[in-house]
Amino acid sequence: MLNSEKIFTFAEKYLPRLGYKKRIHFMNPMVPGLTGAKMSASDPDSKIDPLDSAKDVKKKLKKAFCEPGNITENGVLSFVKYVIFPIISGQAFVIKREEKHGGDISFMDYKELEEAYAKEEVYPLDLKNAVAEELNKLLDPIRAKFNSDPSLKKLRDMAYPGGEKSEGKKEGGAAAANCAVDITRLDLRVGEIISIEKVWSPDKCISDTCTCTYVAKFELIPIKFGFFNDFFKVDPK
């Protein structure tokens, strides 16, 4: 996503210096979340996950921000533009409506839908229902594959230990053990090891046995992005 550009640029430049291969980054347009603000992984209601149940998809879309006539900050329309139309290319996007409200209406491309919504010819709830139906059609085979393959469930559990069900539990005991580490509380430093030297420690000698310490000369990598300056607490001087 475009708001990750600085992170990607940082990784492109410094990961090879730390001994890692260059990463491949996929960029996509920044789209509004379902809550009206930016789509965020920390806000489940702002997004649709591939493994969301059909019921959850409908629930999220039902309470999504979808102001009549608003085509700029509308996460529901964004799903139609960037997900549904690219997949159903060549087919009509159908919005089902009761006859007393004009009956079903279909659109062959997003521009038509956008213009109709801007003129308030499409009611928000009708749009939400149509989007929920199309998204569930797309997600049904994904959910079926996931539920039939234990290895995928194991992979999910490894990636997200504790899962979403652990959210909201009181701290302490087993619940606290499953809580994710708050990475913003870590003091991380990024740099390169220039050399390592062996230094004797006479003050730690016990009888005939002495210990030694290995000291690494460490050079911090200057970080120009404000986010990383705060995150890694590095003085770029």
Dump pLDDT digits (tens) for 171-182.
444 444 444 555
pTM score, whole prediction: 0.61
Provide the domain limits for residue 207: 186-232
What does the mean pLDDT of the chain come to?
77
Average pLDDT over residues 44-68: 92
What pLDDT is recorded for position 216? Answer: 56
What pLDDT is recorded for position 172? Answer: 43
Q: Which of 114, 5, 139, 118 is nearest to 60 (CA)?
A: 139
Q: Are residues 214 and 168 in the same domain?
A: no
Q: Are residues 218 and 174 in the same domain?
A: no
Q: Are residues 202 and 92 in the same domain?
A: no
What pLDDT is recorded for position 233? Answer: 42
Average pLDDT over residues 52-58: 95
- On whether residue 106 sits in a domain, the answer given is yes
Q: Are residues 225 and 142 in the same domain?
A: no
The per-residue pLDDT for range 182-236, each reduced to its tens digit, is 555 555 556 666 666 665 555 544 444 455 555 555 555 554 444 444 444 444 4
CA 4 to CA 228: how far, in whole Å?
12
Q: Are residues 164 and 193 in the same domain?
A: no
Q: Are residues 171 and 202 in the same domain?
A: no
Average pLDDT over residues 141-154: 93
Give the pLDDT band of residue 4 (cuts 50, 70, 90): confident
Characterize 188-225 residue by residue with b for buried, 16 or more Cβ atoms within 10 angstroms of its Cβ, and e for exposed: eebbeeeeeeeeeeeeeeeeeeeeeeeeeeeeebebee
Given a cut of 50, is residue 72 above it in pLDDT?
A: yes
Q: Are residues 54 and 149 in the same domain?
A: yes
Phi, psi angle pair for 139, to nearest 5°: -85, -20
What pLDDT is recorded for position 63? Answer: 92
Q: Are residues 62 and 174 in the same domain?
A: yes
CA 182 to CA 189: how far, in whole Å?
16
Looking at 148, 178, 208, the residue that finishes a domain is: 178
Given a cut of 60, is residue 12 above it in pLDDT?
A: yes
Average pLDDT over residues 82-87: 93
- On whether residue 237 sits in a domain, the answer given is no
Given a cut of 80, is residue 164 above it in pLDDT?
A: no
Cα 74 vs. chain centroid, distance in angstroms? 18
Q: Are residues 152 and 83 in the same domain?
A: yes
Q: Are residues 163 and 83 in the same domain?
A: yes
Burial (0-12, 13-18, 19+ Cβ within 10 Å), 173: exposed
CATH assignment of the domain containing 93: 1.10.240.10
- On whether residue 155 sits in a domain, the answer given is yes
Tally of domains within the chain: 2
Q: Are residues 155 and 40 in the same domain?
A: yes
- On whether residue 22 sits in a domain, the answer given is yes
C-alpha R_g of the chain: 26
The DSSP bridge pattern shows strands 191-206 and 93-95 to be: unpaired
Q: Are residues 96 and 202 in the same domain?
A: no
